[in-house]
Structure 1
């Protein structure tokens, strides 16, 4: 339970800010038996879009030959932001985005560079989701736990709110 009031706008701001500095989340198709996998996402807050590089010889690329309902889950490195976002995943080899997000880490997966025949750029159009934000840090968290146990109340671990990135 939380006493913290969190607006959707503030939650989205925190999500995008943290994603910019810690870009790894879990991406998977929203269907039974499908397992999410760690992926690096480049975010565009103004459109609610994530761009993700993969190779065309992966299961994920084969499974999104046509657009698919998907889920992106995220935990910031500092554990201040947690998110679970549903969206539409599709292949969109947008050359401008490839140029914009290309970096040495991405390049390591594509020996032939930006024209590697295996390079595939995925587009995740974010929709409904839920974001949790807690700025308390580890000390604040343990304080809330101790206080809750002493006062027989529940801790204030931050705020949670439903959002729509679309």
Structure 2
């Protein structure tokens, strides 16, 4: 369950926490004309980077560098949504391959030296996040109150911020 207080006070930290907790995000480059696709994020918060293992012949690798990328994050509880934009670069960093290698990644490739494997590095520069209450009681209360007072219901928080270091 998302913490609405943290959403208001430290949305960047909360975003990184959510990226670290999800199994997949949707990643794409809108200007490429390709659809977004599910990818497993490897968060490197201290570097302000998100890494992805993929095949060298993938659509995303071909489109990398051709425009601004977007990554969409939805929490498992569906009470947190985010869109992160930034540069997407192919970077077969041996240090990051070693850092993020796992049995799950190994299932897709023939080893760390597989010539068909590469990494994509997302360098986030901006984010827009929405955090909402998953409490049906609070939701019902806010809807009822809004209908009586003609005020918008308060069921969450939206923030936009720069992602740079």
Q: TM-score with structure 1 length normalisation?
A: 0.85
The 5-angstrom pairing of residues 38-49 of structure 1 reads: 38-49=38-49
Question: Structure 2: which 5+ residue stretches go unaligned?
Answer: none
In the TM superposition, residue 147 of structure 1 has moved relative to its aligned partner by 3.0
The 5-angstrom pairing of residues 114-129 of structure 1 reads: 114-129=112-127
Q: TM-score with structure 2 length normalisation?
A: 0.85
The 5-angstrom pairing of residues 45-124 of structure 1 reads: 45-64=45-64, 66=65, 68-110=67-109, 112-124=110-122
- For the pair 1:137 / 2:125, whether they are aligned, the reply is no
In the TM superposition, residue 159 of structure 1 has moved relative to its aligned partner by 1.1
Structure 1 residues 90 and 20: alpha-carbon distance in aligned structure 2, compared to 1, 3 A threshold: same
SS of corresponding position for 1:105:
helix
In the TM superposition, residue 6 of structure 1 has moved relative to its aligned partner by 4.9
Please give the alpha-carbon distance, in whole angstroms, between the structure 1 residues aligned to 2:103 and 2:32. Answer: 35
Q: Tell me what 2:163 maps to.
A: 165
Please give the alpha-carbon distance, in whole angstroms, between the structure 1 residues aligned to 2:144 and 2:107. Answer: 47
Please give the alpha-carbon distance, in whole angstroms, between the structure 2 residues aligned to 1:143 and 1:106. Answer: 45
Please give the alpha-carbon distance, in whole angstroms, between the structure 2 residues aligned to 1:67 and 1:50. Answer: 18
- Contact (CA 8 Å) 2:85, 2:126: kept in 1 or not? yes
Please give the alpha-carbon distance, in whole angstroms, between the structure 2 residues aligned to 1:126 and 1:93. Answer: 18
The runs of at least 4 consecutive aligned structure 1 residues that moved more than 4 Å come to 4-7
The 5-angstrom pairing of residues 3-14 of structure 1 reads: 6-7=7-8, 10-14=10-14
Bigger relative contact order, structure 1 or 2 (CA pairs below 8 A, ≥6 apart): 1
- Contact (CA 8 Å) 2:86, 2:126: kept in 1 or not? yes
SS of corresponding position for 1:115:
coil
Question: Structure 1: which 5+ residue stretches go unaligned?
Answer: none
- Cα RMSD (Å): 2.1
SS of corresponding position for 2:112:
helix
- Contact (CA 8 Å) 2:15, 2:82: kept in 1 or not? yes
- Contact (CA 8 Å) 2:43, 2:50: kept in 1 or not? yes
Please give the alpha-carbon distance, in whole angstroms, between the structure 2 residues aligned to 1:17 and 1:149. Answer: 35
SS of corresponding position for 1:46:
helix
